[in-house]
Structure 1
């Protein structure tokens, strides 16, 4: 029977201390539900004694049912020279309705005398009294020994005294915190081994990532005997962040073979990680291990040729185990194997001996030389491959477009686009305004096409990025435009490159609509009678 390790998630508390992260109560409720679905054992909801937002979270959490997780309230030991029963923060932990309280206390003698300015004996009393008060109130108590590793290295006997006091008072868990994130895995392993022999209470680890060792230190602690790991999804947290549970959970389960969450729950890890990044409005690093978009991406032709024979040649584990997927990137490094895999994904009739294959590979390499980067624009790549292997119906052709941008002294900038396109032999001439040149162009093109393709009304531009490719060219340099488009069921990315930002945007915009209409089988235009019925004809 594998040894079990409990996961304690503090994304909603410690994670929100990260720069740029602010969660509403509704955000925290959504994330808590996702964490419960993932199978984590403890969800630290916040500090009910510190702000009204956290108080409201705990009020709402009382009426919620969680399948796997226990909701945990966070706080500190009582104030010096006072009674635990009179401490406002401790009482709010009890009143929160949470079944578990996590409180931190000082383990480092330097902090006791300098930060809270009391005696070493009074600090021991603060720990004992606070844990005992919460236990008598019927709560499960997790004692976080703040700065434990620094404290142990400075004064090992006193650091051990602090956690023994928590044990004597009835703490259910003692969690050793590397609060400054400066310890090394060897130190963590040695100290955790000593602690597990010095106390009978189960031990946990709470690591920070200031030396890029949060995950490594957490794993070292578990191997040395810790049975609870605290951290945050995607490593969110103050300074350099907390230990990243998105890496810790699969490492514990797939590499070290501990029992953490179920196989089915582990398969949701990628979707949970990305969901939380969206709610937190934080960029998801593409190279994040296990759950990043590039975690199982292959670009070099030799690599791709090998994974076609056996994926384990260049993958340390199966991406499906964590809910991710293998990706093959087509680029200037691509060989036939890359295009073969992409073509297979698209169910295209691909023959690697065919001249078309060699031509499309050369075309892709040339386009990348001009500034295209297809690994970020799957929709543009799909259109390119379909055109090469199947041929594509021309949805519309551009005859011309004009841009007017006007700024007067007392008015905002006004942008207007005038577009002339040919759709199934008929010339359409439209004009539209927008809050910028690209938005105006988008509006004018949609206005022309919606008469024939009503589904365009459900398609929206969701992101727009511009990158200057030739910095030496200054304002005359080439630019690459990346557009993300959505129909609220899925998203796709398209690309345009030009020395003119409007032209680059046009290429990306045209591909975004072509992809929606062609690859999604919405290419049949409505006839005049249907246009009249749908109210799409401009009178």
Structure 2
């Protein structure tokens, strides 16, 4: 690799400013450990004194043996004061972090309007603050806020701000497109000019308000930036920050820069999905590189081609980033899709096999009824294995009852009562939930856990209901899509019925069938039966 790029992750600080994202101290510790395994160089944890969660995080993270530098965040000293007496700067030093990022104003408009001070005092605030950090042996990173807007409005002053930080000993000068309104060509030109003016290494911090954060980051690197700041999955305020899940593979695979090791790059998809789960934010299915559909193929012509050579419709091998190729099967798909999917599962099938046509007709019939398999890979796999006689019945439903009760002034409660036969034994179980589906899930799991303890190793992570025939109003047929995860893998199942409870039951049963099937393959030491699993739904 020609050049090394320093990866600065601010998921735990800038990322948490995104709408709907709130992380506990425990969450932040888990994410920091995952980021460290990915190989990022800096992990910005937040402000050591801004809130109790950040205080706890910095106290606990000191005891972890991480390769990344834990970095604190703060701002330059208050106007007309001393750095040595600034509480924010003192807390950064007292936290014991090896590195700190200070944000300072580089746009004269912000100096006058936001800080309400003079241009000279702003320069003094920057110099004093970085000199203070360096006197205390802290690696100092200057985030020049609104730099590109400031440079376009008053280039001389914006440059003088950078020089002040450099003169004070700042180790990195990071140019920020804080409002996210700069174009890649502008970023490239400005970074090129700044490189000629400074000795300190340059970083780039962009926001995604014009859908250009990744492009702007790459343009800055091409112009000479050697640190990139961003977040996993692009989390951040407004439209988000630059997405490291796209930046890292683009730099390393496409542009011949070195960011992380090849093995660490292969953990990128797992990292993105893990952090999505911790943050409780659903990942976009079409997210480049790490999304579930990033290497998914539906068109019959496409599938026929990738079966010959995946390069025909894939720009990289998905394994490079820890993702995998997926072939989607629907009523629009051709035989190539069925053959590819079956071969992927190790099933004996070919283009002249009558079984292929039979399965194709079965899928078309089910999709006519409202099923959708392109978004439910797990249900599709079970359908194919059922067709080839590979599934084993491990329980049979004998009866199911639902009780939903609401009393005056109380929340509505649900209770599910299931009677199932498991390996010849009748199990009768009741469980409550905050809704009918939750109660069903709890009752079925309790029925099976004594036979299959691994059922507790996964959980439902998303649930969607789609009305298929809107004209039928409350009697309409509905489709339920269920997502489940064990934190390493995610799978989707589908159920369709005129009754939302029955549709949910179908999707729930498929989720458990699929989980037990795959756990039986992975863990050969389990005490559960070694036969392939299957559940029958009546």
- Normalising by structure 1, we get a TM-score of 0.89
In structure 2, runs of 5+ residues without a counterpart are 522-527, 532-538
Would the alpha carbon gap of residues 444 and 191 (structure 1) be closer, same or farther in structure 2, given more than 3 Å must change?
closer
CA distance in 2, matches of 1:110, 1:272: 39
3-state secondary structure, aligned to 1:375 = coil
CA contact (8 A) 2:46 2:54 kept: yes
State the match for 2:54 in structure 1. 54
CA distance in 1, matches of 2:214, 2:10: 15
Q: Map Cα deviations across residues 487-527 of structure 1 (whole Å, 9 max, x no partner).
A: 788664332101211221232244345445667486799xx
Would the alpha carbon gap of residues 352 and 173 (structure 1) be closer, same or farther in structure 2, given more than 3 Å must change?
same
CA contact (8 A) 1:446 1:456 kept: no
Would the alpha carbon gap of residues 457 and 405 (structure 1) be closer, same or farther in structure 2, given more than 3 Å must change?
farther
Aligned-pair distance for 1:387? Answer: 2.2
CA distance in 1, matches of 2:127, 2:381: 64
State the match for 2:105 in structure 1. 106
Aligned-pair distance for 1:115? Answer: 0.7
Say which is worse superposed, 310-319 or 412-421, in terms of deviation.
412-421
State the match for 1:462 in structure 2. 460
Would the alpha carbon gap of residues 208 and 523 (structure 1) be closer, same or farther in structure 2, given more than 3 Å must change?
same
3-state secondary structure, aligned to 1:56 = helix
Q: Map Cα deviations across residues 188-224 of structure 1 (whole Å, 9 max, x no partner).
A: 1111111111111111111011111110000001111
CA contact (8 A) 2:277 2:487 kept: no
CA distance in 1, matches of 2:321, 2:497: 39
Q: What aligned pairs does 1:416-455 form with structure 2 within 5 A after superposition?
A: 430=428, 432=430, 434-435=432-433, 436-439=435-438, 441=440, 450=448, 454-455=451-452
State the match for 1:64 in structure 2. 64
State the match for 2:322 in structure 1. 323
3-state secondary structure, aligned to 1:352 = coil
CA distance in 2, matches of 1:273, 1:488: 11
CA distance in 2, matches of 1:487, 1:53: 27
Are residue 130 (structure 1) and residue 116 (structure 2) matched? no
Would the alpha carbon gap of residues 458 and 487 (structure 1) be closer, same or farther in structure 2, given more than 3 Å must change?
farther
State the match for 2:294 in structure 1. 295
CA contact (8 A) 2:233 2:245 kept: yes
State the match for 2:476 in structure 1. 477
3-state secondary structure, aligned to 1:454 = coil
CA contact (8 A) 2:455 2:516 kept: no
State the match for 2:525 in structure 1. none
Q: What aligned pairs does 1:156-167 form with structure 2 within 5 A after superposition?
A: 156-167=155-166
Q: What aligned pairs does 1:142-157 form with structure 2 within 5 A after superposition?
A: 142-157=141-156
CA contact (8 A) 1:350 1:389 kept: no
State the match for 2:339 in structure 1. 340
Aligned-pair distance for 1:392? Answer: 4.5
Aligned-pair distance for 1:251? Answer: 0.5
Aligned-pair distance for 1:386? Answer: 1.6
CA contact (8 A) 1:430 1:445 kept: no
CA distance in 2, matches of 1:410, 1:82: 56
CA contact (8 A) 1:461 1:483 kept: no
3-state secondary structure, aligned to 1:101 = strand
CA contact (8 A) 1:458 1:487 kept: no
State the match for 1:535 in structure 2. none
Would the alpha carbon gap of residues 129 and 477 (structure 1) be closer, same or farther in structure 2, given more than 3 Å must change?
same
Would the alpha carbon gap of residues 198 and 300 (structure 1) be closer, same or farther in structure 2, given more than 3 Å must change?
same
In structure 1, runs of 5+ residues without a counterpart are 526-539
Would the alpha carbon gap of residues 506 and 114 (structure 1) be closer, same or farther in structure 2, given more than 3 Å must change?
closer
3-state secondary structure, aligned to 2:465 = strand
CA distance in 2, matches of 1:18, 1:125: 32
CA distance in 2, matches of 1:71, 1:513: 40
Say which is worse superposed, 15-24 or 406-415, in terms of deviation.
406-415
Q: Map Cα deviations across residues 426-473 of structure 1 (whole Å, 9 max, x no partner).
A: 8969573533444555566667x759x822783576244322223333
Q: Which of these two proteins has the greater Rg computed from alpha carbons?
A: 1
3-state secondary structure, aligned to 1:325 = coil
Are residue 251 (structure 1) and residue 250 (structure 2) matched? yes
Would the alpha carbon gap of residues 472 and 35 (structure 1) be closer, same or farther in structure 2, given more than 3 Å must change?
same
Would the alpha carbon gap of residues 393 and 273 (structure 1) be closer, same or farther in structure 2, given more than 3 Å must change?
closer
Would the alpha carbon gap of residues 166 and 439 (structure 1) be closer, same or farther in structure 2, given more than 3 Å must change?
closer
Size of the aligned set, in residue pairs, is 521
State the match for 1:43 in structure 2. 43
CA distance in 2, matches of 1:434, 1:111: 56
CA distance in 2, matches of 1:372, 1:470: 13
CA distance in 2, matches of 1:25, 1:375: 38
Aligned-pair distance for 1:408? Answer: 4.5
RMSD: 2.7
State the match for 2:7 in structure 1. 7
Q: Map Cα deviations across residues 333-370 of structure 1 (whole Å, 9 max, x no partner).
A: 22111111221222111122011211211221221232
3-state secondary structure, aligned to 2:4 = coil
- Normalising by structure 2, we get a TM-score of 0.89
Aligned-pair distance for 1:59? Answer: 2.1
CA contact (8 A) 2:445 2:455 kept: no
CA distance in 2, matches of 1:56, 1:428: 49
State the match for 2:186 in structure 1. 187
Q: What aligned pairs does 1:65-80 form with structure 2 within 5 A after superposition?
A: 65-67=65-67, 69-80=68-79
3-state secondary structure, aligned to 2:238 = coil
CA contact (8 A) 1:249 1:260 kept: yes
3-state secondary structure, aligned to 1:222 = helix
